[in-house]
Amino acid sequence: MPLLVMKFGGTSVGSLDRIKRAAKRVGVEVAKGYDVIVIVSAMSGKTNELVGWVSETSPLFDAREYDAVVSSGENVTAGLMALTLQEMNVPARSWQGWQVPLKTTSAHSAARIEEIPTDNINAKFGEGMKVAVVAGFQGISPEGRITTLGRGGSDTTAVAFAAAFDAERCDIYTDVDGVYTTDPRISDKARKLDKIAFEEMLELASLGAKVLQTRSVELAMRFNVKLRVLSSFDEQTDTSGTLVCDEEEIVESNVVSGVAYSRDEAKMTLLSVADRPGIAAAIFGPLAEAGVNVDMIVQNISEDGRTDMTFSCPVDQVARAQNAMQAAKDAGEINYHDLDADTDVAKVSVVGIGMRSHAGVAAKMFKSLQDEGVNIKVIATSEIKISVLIDRKYMELAVQALHDAFELEKAA
């Protein structure tokens, strides 16, 4: 029997009515002949309530108890979803993480999935069950305690089940109807993509398109799980949503697939740093230890044995970065003249696997920004992405200009 994994996020199961609506979607797939594994999140708001209680009780909480408390929201939804399906005469039952058992590491609150045995659930499919409803986000440690996979972990649960059960597809139902060429709130020409490659999705996700948890996309890429993102609030057809898949399945594609942005960036420059071997480690080691998420790094040309080192980080980590640098300077680990912080910048990126085989994308991007009078402060590139830091006030303008320049409103 072909098998589908369907995952419903918190807003998609936020009330009994919404659970019913989601169950009807599951029923449609069952009617087509699929066995289905449904992964559910907690009803929207529930996990935050539980997290709030834990934090209020114990600010530096024991993560094992945190997991025991916070995982309970998914258990409720799983049972209610199974009951709703049964009411529709669809044979269904619920599984909590430990019942599968979904085995994880002992890294409580951020556990990684180690193994998903398929025999328990497959045995029930063999007995005529059509839908296994599994509580997302949770597992069991080698010590037999409940673990959670970190926020958004239900996406990862879904992909891991799709890989373990060799599912035909993993459908992620959420409150948006797919992945767009850019944020529709910024450009009204934004177009929903029918397909996007895993690598592109990873770049878009980590750049701020918060549709799918990054880890779940990585996992899908590793096991080549076809992921579909679609809305639980629209009527669905077979071409609804966006399919996230291997690039080989994307026959025609634009050179650039999307324009991403990140609004609250800061550009930090260490002026006149001694340019010696190991200086980069001496700078970025302390920043990493201080929990600063450094993104772009640019080293200027060295003169007289000294150089300027520029990096970007989220704007709310500027103070942390300054403290870490000052401490390193005081400890004699680094030597610099000044630390300049520009907190009014944003990052804009164009992403596309087509870039690999097409020259001129960077040139087109820079020209387009120049035509709009947007000054580029920092440039960073990867194989399938070009990012620039610009003044924050030009961010919307830049996104719109790049969307136009690469004609993203047109399908390939």
Which amino acid appears at position 113 of this protein?
I
CB 223 within 8 A of CB 215: no
CB of 50 to a copy of itself, least distance (A): 7
Instruction: Using CA atoms of 280, 281, 283, 284 in order, give the dihedral in degrees to the nearest 10.
Output: 100
Residues found in the chain: 412
93 binds a copy of itself (CB under 8 A): yes
- The three-state DSSP-derived secondary structure of 65-91 is HHHHHHCHHHHHHHHHHHHHHHHCCCC
90 binds a copy of itself (CB under 8 A): no
With respect to a copy of itself, which residue has the nearer C-beta, 98 or 198? 98
Conformation bin of residue 348: beta by default, left when phi > 0, alpha when psi is -120 to 50: beta
Number of residues that bind a copy of itself (CB under 8 A): 35
Which residues are bridge partners to 259 per DSSP?
350
Cα–Cα distance for residue pair 341/269, rounded to 1 Å: 6
With respect to a copy of itself, which residue has the nearer C-beta, 79 or 208? 79
82 binds a copy of itself (CB under 8 A): yes
Among 87, 115, 249, 371, binds a copy of itself (CB under 8 A): 87
Among 1, 33, 127, 144, binds a copy of itself (CB under 8 A): 144
Among 50, 51, 298, 339, binds a copy of itself (CB under 8 A): 50
Instruction: Using CA atoms of 271, 276, 278, 284 in order, give the dihedral in degrees to the nearest 10.
Output: 0
53 binds a copy of itself (CB under 8 A): yes
CB of 350 to a copy of itself, least distance (A): 46
51 binds a copy of itself (CB under 8 A): no
Binding region for a copy of itself (CB under 8 A) out of 56-64, 204-212, 344-352, 367-375 = 56-64
231 binds a copy of itself (CB under 8 A): no
Conformation bin of residue 178: beta by default, left when phi > 0, alpha when psi is -120 to 50: left
Q: What is the contact surface with a copy of itself in residues (CB under 8 A)?
A: 16, 19, 50, 53-54, 56-58, 61-62, 64-66, 68-69, 72-73, 75-76, 78-80, 82-84, 86-87, 93-94, 96, 98-99, 144-146
